[in-house]
Every structure is written in structure tokens, then in C-alpha cells.
Structure 1
Amino acid sequence: MKKTLTTRFLTLGLATLAASSVAFAADDHGGPVVPKPYTTGATLTKSVQASITPDKAIDILKAGNARFAANKPLRRNLKAQVQTTALGQFPFASVVGCIDSRAAPELVFDQGIGDLFVARVAGNTVNPDILGSLEYAAKVAGSRVIVVLGHTSCGAIKGACDDVKLGNLTTLLEKFKPAVAAASTPGERNSHNHAFVDEVTELNVKQVVARIRSESPVLKALEDEGKIRIVGALYDTSSGKVAWY
């Protein structure tokens, strides 16, 4: 009798586990997706990602930055998030940021593991590799917004303003020359003129946003269909706050 009961409980437990696995698979691995409400700080699943609109994605980032700037980040169990996301990821946003050590998007927007796709390069610019990565993030993996995140006091922008020449950096800095040429701030047109650098920084962000639309028909089509938004933002290294364009 005892053996029979043990067998029955074991069978029931395996059946429950199997049902749970099927539900998880349907939710996060290709099956039917039923949108579930987003909860601040929760690890993203495909169902939760499906409930996030492009505008909601921006609101989540804005709320996260407000927490960061106020020095009130969420307390997350990062180890648990590592385990939860081990077999799949469903980020709600993609960020093109600078390599600057002060402007890590995950920290600036107070997000956890599995929340953001991030591409970082000096001057937060794009090339075919980054555009391809963004296309994957949006078209395949379901990211809802692309943020081009510039920041104040950017060394790459200053280098372009000063026409710096240094190995491969020379070619990279050429990407920012259109923003330098378009800036109209009076005074010296170099890094000693902080207002000039600020204007070039902002113009570069806006030009990169425009380049994403013009150089990626895939992303342009997704934005035209309302499936994603492509926006610019500027992180202030003094205050920790992000301004949006």
C-alpha cells in the first residue's frame, strides 16, 4: 500500500512538472503568448515583453533613470535573474551607448539582467554590425525601443571637435564630423568651448537616430508600423539624469 501511494504521488508530481514545463515552453519558447502585465523589477518573460508597448518601454526607462538619479535603485536578486534567464532572454529595449565608464546603460536606467540589449562604442554611433544587431533585437527578439544614448563631456566628441588623429580612432572620429560642421554655437570651435561640445553631442545623437532610420529599412519599417520607436537621449554625467529627444 505504501509503495502504491508513493508511486501515485511520484506520478502526480511528474505530471505536474511536465505540465509546468509545457506552460513555460509555450510562454517563452515559441508557443502561444498571452500578454502579462509588467511589474517593476521583475525578470522579463516573453509574455511580459508582449505586453510592453514602445511608449511603455520608454516610460520604464524614464522611471529607472529617476531611481538612479535619486540614488534609490531597486534591490534585485541578480543570481536568481541569471538562473531565470539562462535558457532565454526577452529584453524590452535596445541602447546604443558610448564606451564611457560613467554611462553604463544598465546602471543609468536601473535595469536588471535580461532587460536590455546594449551596443557600446565611442561616441554612440552605428555601423553595419551594430545595425544588424539592432535589427535582430527588434525584429527577432522583440525589443520595443531603440535608444541612442549620448552623454555630456564625451571624449570622442571632444576629439572630433579638435580633429584628433590617432590610429583607428581617426576613422571613428570622422563619423562625428557632420555634427561638428552643423553646430552653430558661437566662439571657439574646439573642446575648450563647452557649449559648442554640448551642441555637437546633441546633434550627433540626433544624426545617429536619423542614420538608423535611413540605413536600416528593417528598423524603419518596424517604426512606421508602430512596433518600435527610435529615440535619442542624453545622459548628464554631473547629475545622473537623462534628457530625451
Structure 2
Amino acid sequence: MRRRPGVARLRDQSFNRLIPNILTLLALCAGLTSIRFGLNERWEAAVVAIMIAAILDALDGRIARLLDSTSKFGAELDSLSDFVSFGVAPALLLYFWNLSEVGAPGWVAVLLYCVCCGLRLARFNTKLDNTDLPAWTGRFFMGVPAPAAAGLVLVPMVANLAVGPGYFDSPWLAGLVAVVVAGLMVSRLPTYSFKRIKVPQHFVLPTLLIVGVLAAFLASSPWLTLLGICGLYLCSIPLSWLSYRKLAGTGPASPAAPPPAMDEADLDEHDELPPR
């Protein structure tokens, strides 16, 4: 039977080249599963599912480049997965947790966060072909990346899990955090792209030791450790802004520097959009 003209077909692929897309689908499933846990009020499991989605998202783009299996299909799939796992899922978790108690204002905060996440991903997609900016701008993201935003917006829930009810479980606090994080996602504030950091040779062993200690803290006091990680990330934002201004050769009172952009050689934004 002759194939109809104009009908595209997927080419045969080895299993290894499918691994990045499989990881992306697993991240999507983890994000959707966190929503299910939220419906059942299993908040600890819901936060862990978001963490698993973030880890898988950090791996898929890197593995795609290592296996030389980048494709437009994988890039689009990853973008959709990020919107669900780091946009829709965290916002719905907060709504199930306590934002529903305040009615319309809580739902407005949820919608605003989701819309800003979608706008961020769409803006990133349009920046992929921009090769006019200096290479050093690839060290920065424009605004807070989606996985980091998912962690920040869940800070009130994580703090409540760490210290117990009565301190951070106010729906107005959760709504305010959601609005602020939504603004950070679509802002033009430079933030560090940690994937571009190179570890000097004499710091390799100390770095591995720090990772081991961090894993031990996550196993023994996961919620306080997550709060500490989020706090360190927030502290890095002013430093990234100062570093960007210094590299741009401008001072605080000088005209604004060009916005940070992605390096074509390293397209995934937090692996927000790995080129597969």
C-alpha cells in the first residue's frame, strides 16, 4: 500500500535515543501524581512528587545532549511537561491546601501563577534563535525558572510541614507568595544558571562531600533542608543581578543592560526546554 503524500511518519529510533523523552514523560506523570496526592490531602507525598519531577526535568536535557538525541518533538514535549509539573500542579496544591478557603482571591492567585508560568515558557521558546547577545549572557536566566518557582511557591506548605500548623498556614500568606513568585517568573531580573557553573579541580572532592551532607540532611530533616535551599536561592538573586550588571559593564544608575538570553550551545533553561 502506498503511503499518502504529505503524511509525516516518525523515524525508527533506538531505545537509548528515547530515554530523554521517557524521562520527560515520567516528570509529567510525577507532576500529575502530585495533584492526585493533593486531592487526597497527602501533602508530604505531593511535595515529594514535585521534587521528583524537578530532578527528572534536570536530567532529561543533559542526557539528550549526551546521547545526541535532541529533537523538536522532545523540546515541545518538555515545555508542556514543565507547564503541568511546575505551573499547574504547585498552584492546584496550594488551592487544595488552603487557598480555597478565601474563595475568589485564592483562585485569582492560582490563575495568575499558572498564566505567568505559561508566559515564561512561551517567552523562552521565542528566545531560542537569538544569537546576537554576548555568550556570557548564557550564564543567566531572565526571571526565575519554572522548577525554582515551583519550589518557592510551595514554601508556605513546606514551612507548615516543618514547624507544624498555626504559623505558616494562612491562605493570605500562600496567596501573597504565589503572586510574588508569579511576578518573578515573568520579570526581567537576571538569575544564575547554575548548570553553567564549573567546579575547579581542587574543589571537586569538597563539592562531593557537600552533596553527601546535603543528602543526609534531606533524609533526616527534609522540610527544613528544603527551606534552607529555597532561602539560599533567594539570597543568590541579588548576587546574580550584581554579577550581571558587572559583566554588562554598567552600574546601578546606568542604562539597563540587554536582557539575559540562552546560549545556543546550551538551550535548556533549567532544562525547561532541552533540544531533543
Task: With the length of structure 1 as denominator, give the TM-score of the two structures.
Answer: 0.25
Q: Which has the larger radius of gyration?
A: 1
Higher helix share: 2
Greater per-residue strand proportion: 1
Return the structure number with greater relative CO, CA threshold 8 A, min gap 6: 2
TM-score normalised to structure 2 length: 0.23
